[in-house]
Amino acid sequence: MNFGYEVVQYRPYPRLCTRITNLKRNQTFVADGMLLASSFLALALSTLYFNHRCNTESLPSLSAINNGLIEKLRSRRLFQNKEYEEENIFCFTSGCIKAAASVINNMDLSVDPCDDFYQFACGNFIKYTIIDDDKPSHTTFSIASDILLNKLRMIVTEPIQSNEQKPIKMAKLLFKSCMNKEKIEKDGLAPMKKLLKSLGGWPVLEADKWDDAEFTWKDSVYKIKAVTGHSVDYFIRFSIITDLKNSTLRAIELDQASLGLMGTDDKTVLGYFKYMVDIAVLFGADRRRAIKELKESLNFEIKLAKILLLAEERRDIAQLYNPMKIADLEKNYPSIPWKEYLDKLLDPLTVRHDDIIIVSSPKYLSDLEVLLCKTPKRVQANYVIWRFTAESVSYLTEDLRKRQLEFITELTGKTEREPRWKECVGISSERFSLAIGSLYVRRFFDENIKKNALEMVNGIREEMYKILSSNDWMDDETRKNALDKANSMTSHIAYPDELLDDCKLNAFYKNLEINEKDFYTSILNLTKFVTDYNYSRLRQPVNKSDWITHSKTAIINAFYSYDENSIQLPAGILQGAFFSSDRPRYMNYGAIGFVIGHEITHGFDDQGRKYDKRGNLLDWWAAETKKRFLEKVTCIIRQYGNYTSQEVGLKLNGVNTQGENIADNGGLKQAYNAYKVWSKRHGVEPRLPGLRDYTPEQMFWVSAANVWCSKYRPEALKTEITANSHSPDRFRVIGPFSNLEDFSKDFRCPLGSNMNPVKKCQVW
């Protein structure tokens, strides 16, 4: 699943009275030794605005506002109305002020929350957000990511110290070489052309000099893996995974190819083809030859696309588990020399006769054999070298990158690349995620947050336990297994302790070297390092609490692992709009609580339910209970399948998004119930300034919706709908909120209203 403000930004309210909007943001008022900062004043004024509904005749003068505000500050209240005085206490911590400002900025109070709660909670965010030219969208997640990126920039741009740990030094050197555009341009494409030559050559460049007698698709895969470290997925995806039916062991997985083509509609295919041709021409190919030869290569990739399993078909995990031995491969798919193929990829390991090899799509391998026999070698070679080249473009010259941006614009609508420093910080922090994550935690993470987050995880998981215990459609045996699974679920919060151990960090990176003067060579070294590490684990015992696996901490995201039966909540997401220890818990339970509940529920979604408490693929459901579960899931599929994104006129795919939709619905319910339990234990919390009319329960829902405030370019939204397993953000609010009776109760939504439909869907 993919999931911040630290610095509050104020956008002007369009209906804000002239007398208020004309105030300068940096204006301050001093009285009786008290300094009133602009942020506090903005909240007070926005409160007055909402109370007076912008009736300028009823507003007091500026001096009266100032004098009155000072008096109210002395008593720590913004309101002296007796109706509110006894039952309402307000929170004025900096965290509360930031939270209130952010929420007020996002809300559109002209919308009835019972009609469209997403528009109510996020309407002004959508209306007044301008998407940066280098972004396909502007979301709560992208805001948090930008804040995180600035912190990581501070880390990688610091001068290298003489006693710097090697991993940190290499991360800084990678950033430095990435920023050296002058060196990259000076080198040009000569090194890349030399590399392509060593891989067998790109026929479209070599024209008549290319000899197909020396080419086989298998040799191309061997060379790319050996020279560059790429795990070549252009024909057959090869990886080392945890055995789905025995999560204590690892296995080889052979899966269908990953494609460069993002869709098969005419516009997408034409844009992709033009991109292929233009890149080849920039490398020196004759345009007429490139058009002819790469059209054949494109047709081959389209034929590959047609033999792939559809996304809907791949949701049945059990159908993707087809274990074989090497003898089975050699018998079933005789045109491929499997012993040689696997040995070359695993080098220095070799495949054994008893190794488990999981074939995800046996039919794909059969169809691939036929397709390869019918396809000329030159077409295959143009395809594989094009795919490798396309993956390298980002690291090369500006001419190539400019053409790449034009192609990206067609897919996402963004018209500029992000600033070079952002791109280079992202590359450095991703490629050295352990080293950079270690420094991020040491410098920016508050240890108390880890404790608070763990408390929330335990409370929300307890609510899942209650749901499993009390539902009326599970038989006793299935319920017992479900409860065992919930109790066995482990949590990885913020970061593992080993991440702060310099000895362990140095040991992990000891076989890696970075060429500070050659950016692309460093990228290849890193690629080979990671690939070799992943493949080397084939026969190593599985450690489900392995610190390396759970050390990607400087990231705005959260995860559930089927084979571990665990959730991971990285340090990076425990900030901003998602979490703050300096604001009421209803804001945290609505935001990060929603995220936590979502991940927990993945253990019981349409795919997660098929794994037992140990993370093994095992059918532990009684037939009748399974039938009832599928009936409930069908309701979710139909509900979301009937939603249409009005901005682009596309319907959602209820089948492809069912797992995430189940997780959203269950996670939100658990987070709300957990907050109610916390509130009963600790008492009613204070309200936020400027939001006196909203109860803690109502603010829970507002906070949860604010997680999904977003604005997308039409091109990016289309891609989200067609390719993403998550529903667009609007429907991640509309769907689950309208299914929960507690929401309708808290906002008094009449039965039959948009947010309180008569027919509701509920799995958990």
Catalytic residue, candidates 606, 664, 720, 729: 664
Pair 12, 21: CB distance under 8 Å: yes
Catalytic residue, candidates 116, 243, 255, 599: 599
Pair 200, 219: CB distance under 8 Å: yes
Residues 6+ apart with CB under 8 A from 92: 76, 689
- Count of positions (residues) in the chain: 764
Which residues partner with 255 through β-bridges? 237
Cis peptide before 348 (omega within 30 of 0): yes
Rounded alpha-carbon distances, angstroms, from residue 266 to 263, 271, 294, 297, 717: 9, 9, 16, 16, 18
Nearest to 481 by CA among 371, 393, 597, 613: 613
Q: Has 316 been annotated as catalytic?
A: no
The Cβ-side half-sphere exposure at 424, using a 13 Å CA radius, reads 23
Which residues partner with 523 through β-bridges? none
Residues 6+ apart with CB under 8 A from 94: 582
Residue 670: what are its φ and ψ, rounded to 5°?
A: -65, -45
With 0-12 / 13-18 / 19 or more C-beta atoms within 10 angstroms meaning exposed / middle / buried, residue 168 is buried
Pair 584, 96: CB distance under 8 Å: yes
Residues 6+ apart with CB under 8 A from 24: none
Rounded alpha-carbon distances, angstroms, from residue 558 to 333, 395, 542, 544, 553: 39, 28, 22, 17, 10
d(C-alpha 724, C-alpha 496), whole Å: 30
Pair 140, 707: CB distance under 8 Å: yes
Residue holding tokens 């990885």?
492
Residue holding tokens 């192609």?
407
Residue holding tokens 């869709």?
263
Residues 6+ apart with CB under 8 A from 218: 336, 337, 340, 341, 344
Residue 170 CA to its chain's centroid (Å): 26
d(C-alpha 206, C-alpha 758), whole Å: 67
CA dihedral 587, 593, 598, 600 (to 10 degrees): -170
Q: Has 343 been annotated as catalytic?
A: no
d(C-alpha 93, C-alpha 72), whole Å: 15
Which residues partner with 177 through β-bridges? none
Residue 501 CA to its chain's centroid (Å): 28
**Amino acid (one-letter) located at 322:** N
Give the active site residues. Answer: 599, 664
